Chain A
Amino acid sequence: MVEALATEETIDAQTIDGAIAYLQTQFPDAVKLDDREGYQGLIVDSAQLLKVARAIRDDLGFDYLSSATAVDYLGVDDHMEMVYHAYRTSGGGALVFKAQTDREDAQIPSLVPVWRGADFQEREAWDLYGIRFPGHPNLKRILMWEGFHGHPMRKDWREAYYEEEVKPFDSRWPGGHVHRSEEKNVFGKNVAYPPEIDLNRLMDSSETSVYSSLGLGVDIEQIMDKDGFETNQLVVNMGPHHPSTHGVFRMVLTVDGETVTSLEPVMGYLHRNHEKIGERNTYLHNIPFTDRLDYISSMGNNHGYVLAVEQLMSLGRRYNPPTYRCEALRVMMVELSRIVNHLWAIGFWLNDIGAFFTPVLYFIQERERILDFFEAVAGSRMMCNYMRFGGLFADLPERIKSVSNLANDRVRDYNTMQFLTEMVNERIPRTIDELEQLLTQNEIVLERSIGVGILSAEDAINYSAAGPLLRGSGVAYDIRRADPYSIYPELDFDIAVEQEGDMYARYRVRVQELRESVRILRQILPRLEATKGESIWADGKVGAYAPRVPLGEAYGRVENGKGELGYYIVSAGGKNGSSNPWRYHVRAPSFINLTPMGIMSTGYKVADIVGILGSIDIVLGETDR
């Protein structure tokens, strides 16, 4: 249909510009170009958003809504804005469109009827920004609890330990007024309780809301009420303290006997205000914070963030793109952390379906060695903080060498390249072989996982699933190929796809991706040998610690172990740029991949739920941010 339209109106709707032109001709009164400096895409009239969105999905084929996020332009234009990034699963760039609304009584029509993947993201926008979405089936807070005062991501909302609008804080130097924040605000809160609050009858209203609007056919009033309790439906609460929820995740499900009839994820138990803190930080400050998002593969988080900021910096004049060696090193680190990530994902998934800890112990062996390597190169096992804008923290050391410092310290000393070669050519492939030998034909694994937790391809796309979850449903969508970045275009690897869409398919995808990662690493090592001695910084110039980022917006995304990790960054700097982002949003794959959790679980047994969750592979640091 797209081709037909294109020939009719001589607009090549396949390209992004063509798509924009098509929308402008179709909806002349509803869309206009976003002509603010450094911005891209369209601004859509809020009243007609739904219509335009349908056309974007159905006529233009942008079937995948990657990210939907709110921005508060207090003091700039004094309005709120929802920013949507839509992609085609056949590949290509993003169609960015925005809808604006007033700050007071903010309302934008919900896009859930068009893309189900907007569900959690709109709830997040309501929770943190206070934008209402008429038409949303289940609009309630998602990260904070129901009853929390205010919408904390608004620019005029200040935390209890608020010091200044942006970092660095003035008190740190040269006066050095050392303090603990608690001393300044004893409560650790910034809410003043209204005089009429009845402290004797305090009630936690957040719990009732969790159950009451379960939204999936359960009325807690009815279940609590003895007279109305007629069915054998049960409400089961799993988490936040549960060994199989991979952290502090919580699910509320209703079961009919052993069969799950509805499920709702409840999250926010690790919501540590990453984005709010990120907007106060300078661009550089945010890199170590990204480590703590998906703390299993911190290298990948670094990569997405520096790509987004580099994209913005490239709009300015003085920008040096990273050198080839730098890119090769980045790809190597990211692929190593993908291996770590998938080993953990598979290991913990097996924990969930009953193989308690033995497989994990085998996989941890290689993880420990990769972590030793990270520690020697980047300085920390998990929080690597390795990448910088236009470069890296440091090149590979000649030797992976430790120095005795404490009593009883035992030193190690390996040649770095030799260590890598042995890892890539021997140890990691051997571990993958063992993994397959242990599991792929294992009857218990097959029984537990085949045909369980099925997600169809259409649903996977519509629910904005990403990563192995999407590819396990037969959609060959890998950002490294669909929207290439870094040096991936010149590397030879395949996209891992399985058609079935069940737990076993996702497991197969992960195993294949492990093998593909090894394949990529085998191509990277000669490149590293070839570029030995070259600088990791363009012209050998180490990047400044306070880079000025020009005005504009950028959306940088990478294929992380868990799926599509995107960073939406708005710089509202002046002519000379700014060192603090105005908006810093993380499109977290773990968070959005949970959107289809409800439909994936319905109809399966309660014992399968943890397995299904494990097969999605979430990390709570990223889910809750």
Chain B
Amino acid sequence: MELNLQELKQTEFPVPVELEDNIAITSLSQLYNWGRRNSLWPMLFGLACCAIEMIATASSRFDFSRFGFEVMRATPRQADLMIVSGTVTKKMVVPIVRLYNQMPEPKYVLAMGACASGGGPFKEGYNVVSGMDKYLPVDVYVPGCPPTPQALLYGMIALQRKIDGQSIANGDDVPWYGVGPAEPTPVPVLGPDIIDPRQMDMIRRQAESAAMEMAALGQRELPAATQMVAAKATTQEAVAAAPAEVDSDALNFVLPTGGTPWSEAEDIREKRRLRALARKAVRATRRAAETDEG
């Protein structure tokens, strides 16, 4: 690659005009970022339709090695960038998180296409994870279904810009400039549905409230299997009952990106759910009263 010194130059230290092509004075951070962003090796890792466009981007017509994306590595140990190219299913998210944990730091995630960003057209599916950011911190989202090779290249350049803005001096900026090893992302477990270990407390509370509900309904002695189905049905009803109050402030509601979407807004939602359950209980008693009268 042709070395462009202008990229590295910092203006506050003047360089004599005649040496401008030969000398650049820069900060360590910038040098670091410069090296990093020009040698991002993506992982050879395709999920769905977008993977085909990713291959088209890697091949001769669009050729992302011009930007230092150079070679795709099949092993996570040699990769810096994970391009999540396609629909993330619940069954597949387990290996994906595991692969991400195996990538050496610094590591970046690019969500390619609507599916990887937010579930895409398949969002309503029972086996589809609605967005890679539910599990991994995503750096760049590239919309499109699928994004054309040029759209992907734009996203990759956007990632390079993001790297330019990071600082080695600031440990809070990105985890890997801090001190000590970073915690691996907990790998989800395939249970009755996918279980995120970070959600354990929440699941526990839900299980408890389901138990309480059962007790309230006097159906404690249901066999386990039916119980689960019954509990499922009640949550569905609760979910169906909830939406009325979400309309107006829906857009103001910000789903935290990366990390834990369930941490902050969690309490509000839990309250909302309980309120819905309460409403349902009121309705049920009213209905019971009506039938009694009738």
**Chain A interface (Cβ within 8 Å of chain B)?**
143-145, 147-150, 152, 157-163, 171, 175, 177-197, 199, 202-206, 240-243, 247-248, 268-274, 276-277, 280, 288-289, 292, 295-296, 357, 360-361, 364-365, 368, 371, 381-383, 620-621
Contact B91 A271 (CB under 8 A): yes
Tell me the total A-B contact number using a CB cutoff of 8 A: 223
Contact A182 B255 (CB under 8 A): yes
Q: How far is the CB of B40 from chain A (nearest CB, A)?
A: 19
Contact B47 A186 (CB under 8 A): no
- Beyond known contacts A202-B197, A292-B121: 7 more, CB 8 A cutoff: A191-B192, A192-B206, A193-B228, A194-B224, A195-B214, A240-B95, A361-B59
Contact B261 A382 (CB under 8 A): no
Q: Which residues from B are CB-within-8-Å of A157?
A: 126
Contact A361 B60 (CB under 8 A): yes
| Residue from A161, A273, A364 in contact with B56 in the complex, judged by beta carbons closer than 8 Å | A364
Q: How far is the CB of B86 from chain A (nearest CB, A)?
A: 7
A186 to B264, CA, bound (A): 12
A190 to B240, CA, bound (A): 11
Q: How far is the CB of A366 from chain B (nearest CB, A)?
A: 11
Contact A194 B125 (CB under 8 A): no
Selecting from B17-25, B163-171, B242-250, the interface stretch reads B242-250
Q: Which residues from A are CB-within-8-Å of B53?
A: 381-382
Selecting from B26-34, B176-184, B231-239, B281-289, the interface stretch reads B231-239
Which of B126, B129, B193, B265 neighbours the largest number of chain A CB atoms within 10 Å of its CB? Answer: B126
Contact B51 A271 (CB under 8 A): no
11 pairs of residues in contact across A and B, judged by CB atoms under 8 Å:
A143-B127, A177-B246, A179-B246, A188-B130, A190-B193, A194-B210, A248-B47, A272-B48, A276-B126, A368-B61, A382-B53
Within 8 A of A (CB), among B176-204: 189-195, 197, 199-200, 202-204
Contact B122 A247 (CB under 8 A): no
Which of A178, A247, A270 neighbours the largest number of chain B CB atoms within 10 Å of its CB? Answer: A270
Q: Which residues from A are CB-within-8-Å of B224?
A: 194, 196
Q: How far is the CB of B188 from chain A (nearest CB, A)?
A: 9
Q: Which residues from A are CB-within-8-Å of B126?
A: 152, 157, 159-160, 273, 276
- What per-residue 1/0 map shows which CB atoms of B203-230 lie under 8 Å from chain A? 1101110110010000000001001110
Q: Which residues from B are CB-within-8-Å of A199?
A: 195, 200, 203-204
Is B67 part of the binding interface, using a Cβ–Cβ cutoff of 8 Å?
no
Contact A365 B60 (CB under 8 A): yes
- What per-residue 1/0 map shows which CB atoms of B271-289 lie under 8 Å from chain A? 0010000000000000000
| Residue from A150, A204, A276, A621 in contact with B189 in the complex, judged by beta carbons closer than 8 Å | A204
CB within 8 Å for A273 and B266 given contacts A192-B232, A247-B47? no
A272 to B116, CA, bound (A): 12
- What per-residue 1/0 map shows which CB atoms of B92-127 lie under 8 Å from chain A? 101100010000000000000001001101111111
Chain B: interface residue count, which band?
35 or more
* Chain B minimum-CB-distance residue to A372: B61
CB within 8 Å for A272 and B87 given contacts A180-B255, A193-B192, A202-B191? yes
CB within 8 Å for A193 and B207 given contacts A182-B255, A272-B125, A383-B146? yes
* Chain A minimum-CB-distance residue to B253: A183
Q: Please name the 6 residue pairs, one residue from A and one from B, whose CB atoms are nearest each other, closest first.
A: A273-B125, A192-B231, A195-B211, A295-B49, A149-B192, A177-B247
Q: How far is the CB of A128 from chain B (nearest CB, A)?
A: 10
Q: Which residues from A are CB-within-8-Å of B148?
A: 381
Contact B89 A271 (CB under 8 A): yes
Contact B92 A248 (CB under 8 A): yes
Is B134 part of the binding interface, using a Cβ–Cβ cutoff of 8 Å?
yes
Q: How far is the CB of A111 from chain B (nearest CB, A)?
A: 27
Is B137 part of the binding interface, using a Cβ–Cβ cutoff of 8 Å?
no
Contact A189 B193 (CB under 8 A): yes
Contact B60 A364 (CB under 8 A): yes
| Residue from A182, A192, A270, A296 in contact with B87 in the complex, judged by beta carbons closer than 8 Å | A270
Contact A270 B246 (CB under 8 A): no
Is B174 part of the binding interface, using a Cβ–Cβ cutoff of 8 Å?
no
Q: Which residues from B are CB-within-8-Å of A152?
A: 126-127
Q: Which residues from B are CB-within-8-Å of A243?
A: 44, 74
Contact B122 A269 (CB under 8 A): no
A365 to B56, CA, bound (A): 10
Contact A183 B246 (CB under 8 A): yes
Q: How far is the CB of A389 from chain B (nearest CB, A)?
A: 20
